[in-house]
Amino acid sequence: MNTSALHAQLPHTLRQTQFPTLGTRYQGKVRDTYRKGDRLFLVTTDRLSAFDHVLTTLPFKGEVLNRLATFWFERTKHIVPNHVLEVPDPNVTVARACEPFAIEMVVRGYLTGSLWRDYQKGTHTAYGLPFPSGLRKDEAFPEPVITPSTKAQYGQHDEPISEAELLARGLASPRDWARLCEAAKALFAEGQRWASTRGLILVDTKYEFGKVGDDLYVIDEMHTPDSSRYWVADEYAARFAKGEDQRMLDKENIRQWLIRERNFSGQGTPPQIPDAVRVDLAEKYLAAYERITGTTLKLEAGDVHARIEQNLRAAGHL
């Protein structure tokens, strides 16, 4: 593992980008997006968000995320077309600008995380789905379920929404909604299948979709540890039987650290994240990349912004 590279990169993490000639800039929680005509330049920064707040940066997080999304987009493009046009730098995807649906398509194979927290409180009914009662934490659903949410503004929380409500609000037409569900399920099935060949469980994930004309595309990111949960497969059964937390390679690690160590779950001012926690979490992202793709990543500490600028220039985008 590249632990020393992760430490060396701490002072160089990519917090923000400024490429004034690249297009109209929009800063999301994790990505800086530049729009020029029908093209989008998605620059994945090293920002870490949890509970809809940006907390800190993690060394090489942007590169690892964008590389993983690229890997998955490539693996699944025969199932559902996606927005990727070109990847001129490890942190940058040039994408087809689509008309996004204001819905996050969350697909879950297991009862865990926020849904488990809702299930215990009895607030899981917001999705309008008939969940069986008596399920245990981290138990597999008989079949994956789709629990859509609205896309929240910065600092607000994504709101669970039922199928009936999202149709009533016109967030998708009935025909598009059926297509979104079918696409999300097909992508998730392939994600689970591939993960299982790599000794992992793809537990749940979130997709965003957009349209150009009548054509549907997967947009944003895909099957990354920011948008998905991954568990280590061969430890699942024993940990489940004992009621222990699963070994996770994803963002749930920081959510649990925040709840346990800082009593923070999204309300009020986010706490400072110590460097040791930043490196530890960066290691988890990197481990996820290496486990999922079966390849190792050679990381070189240095100025990420300068490298991106160089690559964008070489590709004729600046």
Ligand X SMILES: Nc1ncnc2c1ncn2[C@@H]1O[C@H](COP(=O)(O)OP(=O)(O)O)[C@@H](O)[C@H]1O
Q: Which of residues 200-219 bind ligand X (CB under 6 A)?
A: 208, 210, 219
Asked if 198 touches ligand X (CB under 6 A), the answer is no
Give, for 42, the enclosing helix (H) or strand (E): strand 39-44
Nearest residue (CB) to ligand X, 42 versus 288: 42
The residue within the footprint of ligand X, chosen from 14, 22, 64, 95 (CB under 6 A), is 95
Q: Which of residues 47-76 bind ligand X (CB under 6 A)?
A: none
**From residue 151 to residue 190, what is the string marking binding to ligand X with x (rule CB under 6 A)?**
----------------------------------------
The residue within the footprint of ligand X, chosen from 97, 183, 184, 258 (CB under 6 A), is 97
Shortest distance, position 150 Cβ to ligand X, whole Å: 12
**CB atoms closer than 10 angstroms to residue 210:** 20
Shortest distance, position 220 Cβ to ligand X, whole Å: 4
Shortest distance, position 149 Cβ to ligand X, whole Å: 12
The residue within the footprint of ligand X, chosen from 30, 105, 145, 249 (CB under 6 A), is 30
Q: Name the closest residue to ligand X (Cβ).
A: 28
Asked if 31 touches ligand X (CB under 6 A), the answer is yes
Q: What angle do CA 88, 94, 95 make, to 5 degrees?
A: 155
Asked if 29 touches ligand X (CB under 6 A), the answer is yes
CA distance 35 to 26: 8
Asked if 83 touches ligand X (CB under 6 A), the answer is yes
Nearest residue (CB) to ligand X, 79 versus 135: 79
CA distance 273 to 277: 7
Nearest residue (CB) to ligand X, 30 versus 299: 30
- Are residues 34 and 22 in contact, defined by beta-carbon separation less than 8 angstroms? yes
β partners of residue 231: 201, 248
Q: How many residues bind ligand X (CB under 6 A)?
A: 17
Asked if 33 touches ligand X (CB under 6 A), the answer is yes
Asked if 270 touches ligand X (CB under 6 A), the answer is no
The residue within the footprint of ligand X, chosen from 55, 64, 94, 98 (CB under 6 A), is 98
Asked if 106 touches ligand X (CB under 6 A), the answer is no
Q: Of 56-64, 92-100, 119-127, 199-207, which segment contacts ligand X by CB under 6 A?
A: 92-100
Asked if 266 touches ligand X (CB under 6 A), the answer is no
The residue within the footprint of ligand X, chosen from 39, 51, 81, 100 (CB under 6 A), is 100
CA distance 94 to 97: 9
Q: Where are the beta strands (DSSP E) in 153-300?
A: 200-212, 215-219, 228-232
Residues that bind ligand X (CB under 6 A): 28-31, 33, 40, 42, 83, 95-98, 100, 208, 210, 219-220
